[in-house]
């Protein structure tokens, strides 16, 4: 599932993405709005887009990643109204050679502000990582 509409810009440390809230989506309420908790998924997808952009710049394959959790998710609204344009900014604050990463994320729109710190993991060799899990089950 892809919820974000566009990568606006990115560099080695950050990415900005955009979403226009439209009715009929998987998480939309009856009035077409999105519940605020979907903001975490939008932030996670922005981080995934960041990883994909970095891989393409390096001419490497795009790898699988996992959202491990979030800290301090705060949002000033209960939902994102239909028709709102949301801008998501994810800034890398930590990434190690083992695939662990931390991103400071902000989501803004008309009268909307949400923020969170996302903990993510990208196994060095994701195909082997998934195959190893299947063998152990």
> Does 27 reside within a domain?
yes
> Does 48 reside within a domain?
yes
> Does 132 reside within a domain?
yes
Between CA 37 and CA 124 the distance in angstroms is: 29
> Are the beta carbons of 121 and 100 closer than 8 angstroms?
yes
> Does 1 reside within a domain?
no
Query: Is the pLDDT reported for residue 136 higher than 80?
Result: no
CATH of the domain at 130: 3.10.129.10
Q: How many domains does the chain have?
A: 1
Between CA 105 and CA 111 the distance in angstroms is: 17
Query: Is the pLDDT reported for residue 135 higher than 60?
Result: no
Tell me 31's DSSP state. T
Q: Please indicate whether residue 22 or residue 133 has the higher confidence score (pLDDT).
A: 22
> Where does the pLDDT of residue 8 fall: very low under 50, low under 70, confident under 90, or very high at 90 and above?
very high
pLDDT of residue 103: 97
What residues contact 132, with CB distance under 8 A and at least 6 apart? none
pLDDT of residue 41: 97
Query: Is the pLDDT reported for residue 112 higher than 70?
Result: yes
> Does 50 reside within a domain?
yes
Quote the pTM value. Answer: 0.89
What residues contact 102, with CB distance under 8 A and at least 6 apart? 92, 93, 94, 95, 117, 118, 119, 120
> Does 78 reside within a domain?
yes
Range of the domain at 102: 6-136
Radius of gyration over every alpha carbon of the chain, rounded to an integer in angstroms: 16
């Amino acid at each position: 599932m892809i919820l974000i509409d566009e990568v606006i810009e990115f560099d080695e440390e950050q990415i900005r993405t955009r979403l226009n809230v439209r009715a009929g989506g998987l998480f939309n309420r009856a009035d077409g709005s999105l519940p605020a908790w979907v903001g975490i998924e939008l932030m996670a997808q922005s981080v995934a887009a960041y990883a994909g952009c970095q891989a393409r710049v390096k001419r490497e394959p795009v790898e699988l990643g996992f959202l491990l959790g979030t800290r301090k998710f705060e949002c000033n609204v209960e939902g994102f109204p239909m028709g709102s344009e949301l801008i998501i900014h994810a800034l890398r604050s930590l990434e190690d050679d083992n695939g662990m990463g931390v991103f400071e994320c902000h989501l803004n729109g008309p009268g909307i502000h949400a923020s969170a710190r996302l903990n993510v993991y990208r196994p060095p060799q994701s195909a082997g990582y998934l195959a190893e899990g299947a063998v152990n089950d």
